[in-house]
């Protein structure tokens, strides 16, 4: 079955540490996105990539970094510079810029 | 950039009643408006969408309407069932990315 896989489902991080969230899709979609979800604030765009080896900052990119070396993969690194990283992170993909998104099941990151 | 407002933030209806969720958008260039349903601990799933050249679209118990002049669009769920309980998000696309509303928590009571 085609879809988007996010791993791990739950992640705990100590303050000051970087952590990388995985996102893999086998839908052959060109575009991929990372969103952050906080209670009462909906989904906010962190980074997006429309093609391999290219990505753009979203609305809340500070403290995050991404790479897009392969079409199937779009990992997100939450760096120690992110002041409030505890949140639910969602990865999505789209076949092109005119279609809706397919979302993964999310990673819940908790800083301890 | 695009700004999407969604109301109400919470909605409680009795089973069998209808539910309506409303969204407004700011960018007149937006041309695609999807609706997503998110169940607890899961990612959002697309339930219906509409493009700017269409005024209304229906799929069984759900329908979406779009008023381009007023820049608002709505989700209508008829004959609600307990499994409709979830958080619903509207979104609008301008340029190459979606901007989401803040969500509506729908509770269908028996």
Q: Which residue of A has its CA nearest to B37?
A: A103
Q: What is the pLDDT of residues B53-94, one digit of tens each?
A: 889 999 999 999 999 999 999 999 999 999 999 999 999 998
CB contact under 8 A, B44 and A50: no
CB contact under 8 A, B6 and A42: yes
Burial label for A109, CB within 10 Å (0-12, 13-18, 19+), is: buried
CB contact under 8 A, B101 and A48: no
pLDDT band at B96 (very low <50, low <70, confident <90, very high): confident
pLDDT band at B1 (very low <50, low <70, confident <90, very high): confident
| pLDDT, position A40 | 72
CA distances from B24 to A32, A45, A93, B77, B92 (A): 25, 19, 24, 18, 9
Residue recorded with tokens 């408006």: B33
| pLDDT, position B97 | 82
Identify whether the C-beta of residue A10 lies closer than 8 Å to the C-beta of residue A106.
Answer: no
| pLDDT, position A1 | 60
Which of A37, A55, A104 is the mutation pick for testing B, counting most B CBs within 10 A? A37
Residues of chain A with Cβ-Cβ distance to B96 below 8 Å are 31, 48, 50, 97
Question: Is B103 at the interface with chain A, CB within 8 A?
Answer: yes
Which of B9, B43, B89 minimises the CB distance to A104? B43
Q: Which residue of A has its CA nearest to B92?
A: A100
d(CA B98, CA B30): 9
Question: Quick one: DSSP state of residue A39?
Answer: T
State which residues of chain A have pLDDT below 70: 1, 97
Question: At a CB cut-off of 8 Å and minimum separation 6, what does A97 contact?
Answer: A31, A50, B93, B95, B96, B97
* Bond prior to A17 in cis (omega within 30° of 0): no
Residues of chain A with Cβ-Cβ distance to B99 below 8 Å are 45
Please choose, from the candidates B11, B41, B15, the residue with its C-alpha nearest in 3D space to the C-alpha of residue B104: B11
Question: Is B37 at the interface with chain A, CB within 8 A?
Answer: no
Instruction: Tell me the mean pLDDT in the region B8-17.
Output: 97
């Amino acid at each position: 079955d085609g879809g988007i896989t996010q791993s791990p489902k739950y992640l705990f991080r100590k303050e000051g540490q970087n952590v990388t969230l995985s996102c893999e899709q086998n839908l052959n979609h060109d575009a991929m996105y990372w969103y952050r979800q906080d209670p009462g604030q909906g989904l906010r765009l962190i980074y997006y990539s429309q093609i391999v080896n290219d990505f753009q900052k979203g609305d809340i990119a500070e403290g995050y970094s991404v790479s897009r070396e392969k079409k199937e993969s779009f990992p997100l690194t939450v760096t120690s510079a992110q002041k409030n990283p505890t949140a639910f992170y969602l990865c999505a993909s789209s076949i092109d810029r005119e279609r809706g998104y397919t979302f993964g099941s999310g990673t819940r990151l908790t800083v301890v | 950039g695009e700004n999407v407002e969604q109301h109400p933030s919470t909605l409680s209806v009795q089973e069998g009643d209808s539910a309506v969720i409303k969204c407004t958008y700011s960018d007149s260039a937006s041309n695609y408006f999807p609706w997503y349903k998110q169940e607890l601990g899961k990612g959002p799933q697309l339930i219906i969408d509409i493009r700017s050249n269409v005024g209304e679209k229906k799929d069984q118990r759900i329908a979406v309407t779009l008023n381009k002049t007023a820049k608002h669009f709505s989700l209508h769920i008829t004959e609600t069932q307990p499994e409709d309980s979830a958080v619903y998000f509207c979104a609008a696309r301008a340029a190459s990315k979606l901007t989401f509303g803040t969500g509506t928590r729908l509770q269908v009571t028996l």
